[in-house]
Chains A and B, each alone.
Chain A
Amino acid sequence: MINFDNAATTFPKPLSVRRAAAEAIKSFGGNAGRGGHELAMRTSEALYSARETAADFFGAAPENTVFTLNCTHALNMAIQGVMSEGGHIIISSMEHNSAARPTVALAMKKQVTLSVAEVFPDSERTLESFRRLIRSDTRAVVCTIASNVTGQLLPYKEIGQLCRENGICFIADGAQACGIYDIKLSDGINILCTAGHKGLYGITGTGLLITDGQYPITPIMQGGTGSNSLSLFQPSILPDSLESGTPNVIGAVTVGAGIGFIGTYGMNRLRAHEERLCRLFIEGLEGTEGITVYRDAAAEYAPIVSFNTEGFTSEAAAELLSERGFCLRAGYHCAALAHATLGTKGGTVRFAPSVFNTEEEVRKLVYNVKTLKNLPNS
């Protein structure tokens, strides 16, 4: 089995992450921040270390680094938390449903007004889309750094600058970019939301919300935090205000280990490897009749490639490839807006390599895509 569905979640995980998970299960069995005994203290220390590692990685303070269930959870907290008092919000036309659905839900309840900024291959035109939509009551802009469908990179630093000039909170979705690009809050991001289990190589059930603290985030969930237990009100301090309930310590530890792996391997080297695999894949398919690759010369891309094969629906193509041992995600990738922007009515097949894929694996995939019509059951 060869996994090219790493944009959904990376697999395999690095050995250091697997070892960290095993060590966490063995040693960090207390409830972090909720007891004074040795086991709880040891567990709390491990959680803090993971928090500190993540904070350093993104240029944030540890207390402003919140562990979440996944990127969707982080985006929901950020969007609902920042927009709790209403106002106007802008999202891009390439957003994942994790950003689109919470904003649409708020708009349907008439709690906010929503605008969608059209994304173009040309970053200048995309930036202009955002600029045109800004109003006096615009409170937040939500934008993905890299599309989960095509990998297209959006001009997030310029959008951040635009937000800063207009006193608008910039919420960035880093799910497909973190771990591959050196993303920092100092890039103009007020709140960075990301997955822990994708480019950061942690286990599933992990995500991060990282804030510069400039825009208060009203919690969408209340509960036990291990602090201020006599109060019936949620603590206002971070990370407690946004981390109700027992934290996923094992998950957090693996995120810390995953970031450590990226540091040891080298982020530039890692990205170069994945980009090389994408180039190999695209070049391998070039000139093949009936193959459409969704890339535009005017745009820049993270190491993700979306394509379609004539005569097959995206799901049918992925199913045939699955029978040959290749794991690729097809369909709409939980990104209704992005597929509407691309005009891909039947969805696409997505190729998303990780650091663990090889050129040989990509060549095998290319051969199988090119010969799809000759595969059994096709």
Chain B
Amino acid sequence: MPSYTYAVKAQRLLRARGYPCRIRRREKTSSEGCGFSVLINGSCEGAERLLTGYAVPYSVRGGGADDDKL
């Protein structure tokens, strides 16, 4: 997530639609340095569609089925 504002926006959108998630501070969310991640347990596919629909900028990092991060 490019900023905390977007991270909270994403978290509230996701939680309202039944995606349990939490925000975590990261030293690097991109090459430009620290930011925030929204951690989702499980597949990010539906969450990605939701965030795209609301024009929330994000990138998917690392993860795997049990630790996907937006």
Contact = CB atoms under 8 A, between A and B. Distances in A.
B5 A51 contact: yes
B50 interface: no
Interface stretch (A123-131, A229-237, A262-270, A291-299): A229-237
Interface string B6-18: 1011000000000
A208 to B, nearest CB: 14
A312 B33 CA distance: 62
B61 interface: no
Contacts of B3: 33, 63, 225-227, 235, 237, 239-240
Interface stretch (B22-30, B41-49, B62-70): B22-30
A268 B32 CA distance: 48
Chain B interface size range: 10 to 19
B8 A44 contact: yes
B31 A230 contact: yes
A235 B2 contact: yes
A237 B4 contact: no
Contacts of B20: none
A41 B9 CA distance: 14
A231 B33 contact: yes
A56 interface: no
B60 interface: no
Nearest to B22: A41
B64 to A, nearest CB: 22
Contacts of A245: none
A227 B57 CA distance: 14
A234 to B, nearest CB: 11
B33 A36 contact: no
Contact of A36 (B2, B5, B9, B25): B25
Contacts of A48: 4-5, 8-9
Interface in A20-56: 32-33, 35-36, 40-41, 44-45, 48, 51
A226 B2 contact: no
B5 A62 contact: yes
B5 A229 contact: no
A180 B4 CA distance: 31
Contact of B57 (A36, A41, A230, A237): A237
B55 to A, nearest CB: 8
B4 A36 contact: no
Interface string A212-251: 0000000000000111111100010101100000000000
A213 B11 CA distance: 22
B65 to A, nearest CB: 24
A33 B36 CA distance: 9
Contacts of B36: 36
Given A41-B23, A237-B57, A230 B5 contact: no
6 interchain residue pairs of minimum CB distance: A36-B25, A230-B33, A33-B4, A229-B33, A228-B32, A48-B8
27 contacts: A33-B3, A40-B25, A44-B8, A45-B8, A48-B4, A48-B9, A51-B5, A62-B5, A63-B3, A226-B4, A227-B2, A227-B35, A228-B2, A228-B30, A228-B34, A229-B34, A230-B32, A230-B33, A230-B34, A231-B33, A235-B2, A237-B3, A237-B6, A237-B57, A240-B2, A240-B3, A240-B5
Given A40-B25, A227-B4, A237-B3, 9 more contacts: A32-B4, A35-B25, A36-B36, A44-B4, A45-B8, A63-B5, A63-B6, A63-B9, A228-B2
